[in-house]
C-alpha cells in the first residue's frame, strides 16, 4: 500500500475571546482543514452512542432530554460542585474526541498541514501530539468585552472562566507561533506569514 505524505498537525489555542475561531476562519479561506475540537466534543456528546452511554451511567438518564438532546444544565449543575465528576466526564470525552480527531486526520490528504482548534491544548497535554502550536492573544479587557457582547453574559462569568485557564503569558512562552488579535494589528498578514512557514516546514518532511 502506498503511504501518504505526512501532514503536519498544528494546534491553535488561546484564552476565551482571544479570537481563535476568527483566526481559524481565515486559515479556512486558504483551504486549511480545521478541526474544531470543542464544537466537535459537544456534537459527540449528543451523537456518539458509546459516549452517550457513559454519560448516562455517570449522570443518570436525566443527562438527556426525552428527545435525546444533552441536558447541559443538569450536567453543569453537578460538575460545578463536584470536581471528581468533572474529571470523570473529561475522562470519557477526551478519548472520544481523540479517536474522532484521529479519524478526521486520517481522512485528510493533499494539504501541507491541518489545524486543531481548542481552548485547552497545553492544559490537556495535547501539544505532545502536535507538531506546532499557534497561540492567539488579545488584551484581557478586550477579551472580556468580546465575550460579553458575543454571548450576552455578565463580566463576572467571563472573568471566572479566564481565571480557570492557563495565563496567556505562559501560553505565549510555550507557543511556536503567536498571533496578536488586539483589534489593531491586521490578522490576515499574520496568518499568511505563518501559513507560508508551515508550507515550507511540510516540504522538509
Which residues of the shown chain bind ligand ATP in the complex (CB under 6 A)? Answer: 14, 16-22, 119, 146-147, 150, 181, 183
Tell the smallest beta-carbon distance from residue 67 to ligand ATP (Å).
26
CB of residue 8 to ligand ATP, shortest distance in Å: 22
Q: Are 39 and 203 in contact (CB under 8 A)?
A: no
Complex with ligand ATP: residue 107 or 186, whichever CB lies closer:
186
Nearer to ligand ATP, 92 or 135 (CB): 135
Nearest CB to ligand ATP, comparing residues 4 and 150: 150
d(CA 25, CA 137): 16
Using alpha carbons, select from 21, 64, 66, 30 the residue that is nearest to residue 46.
64
Please calculate the CA angle 115-119-122 and round it to the nearest 5 degrees.
Answer: 85
Nearest to 102 by CA among 129, 127, 121, 128: 129
C-beta of 183: minimal distance to ligand ATP in Å? 5
The nearer residue to ligand ATP, 116 or 146, going by C-beta atoms, is 146
Shortest Å, Cβ 136 to ligand ATP: 6
The answer to whether the CB of 95 falls within 8 A of the CB of 89 is no
Amino acid at each position: 500500500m502506498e503511504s501518504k505524505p505526512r501532514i503536519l498537525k498544528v494546534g491553535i489555542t488561546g484564552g476565551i475571546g482571544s479570537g481563535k475561531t476568527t483566526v481559524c476562519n481565515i486559515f479556512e479561506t486558504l483551504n486549511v482543514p480545521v478541526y474544531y475540537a470543542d464544537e466537535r466534543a459537544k456534537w459527540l456528546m449528543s451523537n456518539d452512542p458509546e459516549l452517550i452511554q457513559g454519560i448516562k451511567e455517570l449522570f443518570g438518564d436525566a443527562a438527556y432530554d426525552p428527545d435525546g438532546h444533552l441536558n447541559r444544565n443538569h450536567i453543569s449543575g453537578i460538575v460545578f460542585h463536584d470536581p471528581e465528576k468533572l474529571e470523570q466526564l473529561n475522562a470519557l470525552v477526551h478519548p472520544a474526541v481523540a479517536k474522532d480527531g484521529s479519524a478526521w486526520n486520517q481522512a485528510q490528504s493533499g494539504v501541507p498541514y491541518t489545524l486543531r482548534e481548542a481552548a485547552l491544548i497545553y492544559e490537556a497535554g495535547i501539544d505532545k501530539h502536535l507538531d506546532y502550536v499557534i497561540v492567539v492573544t488579545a488584551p484581557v479587557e478586550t477579551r472580556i468585552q468580546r465575550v460579553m457582547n458575543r454571548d450576552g453574559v455578565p463580566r463576572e462569568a467571563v472573568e471566572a472562566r479566564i481565571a480557570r485557564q492557563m495565563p496567556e503569558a505562559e501560553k505565549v512562552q510555550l507557543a511556536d507561533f503567536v498571533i496578536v488579535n488586539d483589534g489593531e494589528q491586521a490578522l490576515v498578514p499574520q496568518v499568511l506569514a505563518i501559513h507560508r512557514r508551515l508550507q515550507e516546514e511540510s516540504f522538509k518532511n
